[in-house]
Amino acid sequence: MIPGTGTAVNVVAVLLGAVLGKLLGNRLPERTRDLVTDGLGLVTLLIAATSAMAVLDPDLSDVVGPSAPLLIVLGSVLLGGIVGSLLRLESRVEGLGALLQRRLSHGADSVERQRFIEGFVVASLIFCTGPLTILGSINDGLGNGADQLYLKATLDGFAAIAFAASFGWGVAASALTVVVVQGGLTVAGVLLGDVLPDAHLAAITATGGLLLIGVALRLLKIREIAVADLLPALLVAPALVAIVAATR
């Protein structure tokens, strides 16, 4: 299997789902679209909680000690949040969404523009921060097959239908983010080979699950957490595992 096939299938699924969702959304009342978004928020919360449970992975505790995993996730979120805030990642992602909206939706009013940006940001975070994104893309690059990305493509396609029904064409624009993030991770897998031990992957998965909780809170309109600013935590997590393991 050619590396990158899984990402290509994922992008097609997002685009098809967004088109179907946009066509369907025009025929659904606003209350129904809001309810669909709330349902996605609840499902995202469930997926996030399941991923976050990787903090209890025995491979991680064996490497860093039984009391360190939670501290590693905490340190990853704090340090990653500081880096992301200084880099203004949330503002940059929103700015990219606004730029795409201006180019793709000429003449739209401010409400439609905000829906486009919100759809782009939320869909990008949903499609690119989960454990399947990281593990699937790396495995695809390593030549281990793209089965995980095919599963993710199926989930993302159905999610894109629901998101596009609520947010519109901004969800389709998130396919660009999928190409950049998953394509980059696949290339990294090709270049680096199998260098991440199970403990490091568990730390990334647990941290990614925590970030997905932030996305779920946004979908449920509970709290507008700047999740994009926290994305560097996914890089900090394996680094902290290596540091703690080296000092034991």
Taken as a whole, the chain contains a residue count of 248
According to the per-residue pLDDT averaged within each range, which of 1-10, 32-41, 177-186 is highest?
Answer: 177-186
What pLDDT does residue 241 have?
95
- pLDDT, tens only, 83-95: 999 999 888 877 7
Element (H, E) at 80: helix 68-87
89-103, 104-118, 142-156: least confidently modelled range? 104-118
CA distances from 147 to 5, 133, 160 (A): 10, 12, 20
According to the per-residue pLDDT averaged within each range, which of 2-16, 71-85, 96-110, 129-143 is highest?
Answer: 71-85
- Residue for token digits 């950049």? 180
pLDDT-derived band at 192, boundaries 50, 70, 90: low
CA distances from 109 to 39, 114, 117, 159 (A): 27, 9, 12, 26
What pLDDT does residue 80 have?
95
- Give the type of residue at 5: T
CA distances from 125 to 32, 68, 94, 131, 208 (A): 23, 27, 11, 12, 11
pLDDT-derived band at 28, boundaries 50, 70, 90: low
pTM for the model: 0.74
CA–CA gap between residue 168 and residue 18 (Å, rounded): 8
Is the pLDDT at 105 greater than 60? The verdict is no
Is the pLDDT at 120 greater than 70? The verdict is yes
Q: Are 230 and 152 in contact (CB under 8 A)?
A: no
Secondary structure of residue 57 in the 3-state scheme: coil
Is the pLDDT at 118 greater than 60? The verdict is yes
How many angstroms from the chain centroid is the CA of residue 213?
11
CA–CA gap between residue 240 and residue 71 (Å, rounded): 10
- Counting the structural domains of the chain, the total is 1
CA–CA gap between residue 59 and residue 56 (Å, rounded): 9
What pLDDT does residue 204 have?
85
Question: Using CB atoms within 10 A of its CB, is residue 96 exposed (0-12), middle (13-18) or buried (19+)?
Answer: middle
40 compared with 55, residue with greater pLDDT? 55
235 compared with 139, residue with greater pLDDT? 235
CA–CA gap between residue 142 and residue 12 (Å, rounded): 22
34 compared with 73, residue with greater pLDDT? 73
How many angstroms from the chain centroid is the CA of residue 132?
9
Domain span at 153: 5-247
143-152, 182-191, 239-248: least confidently modelled range? 143-152
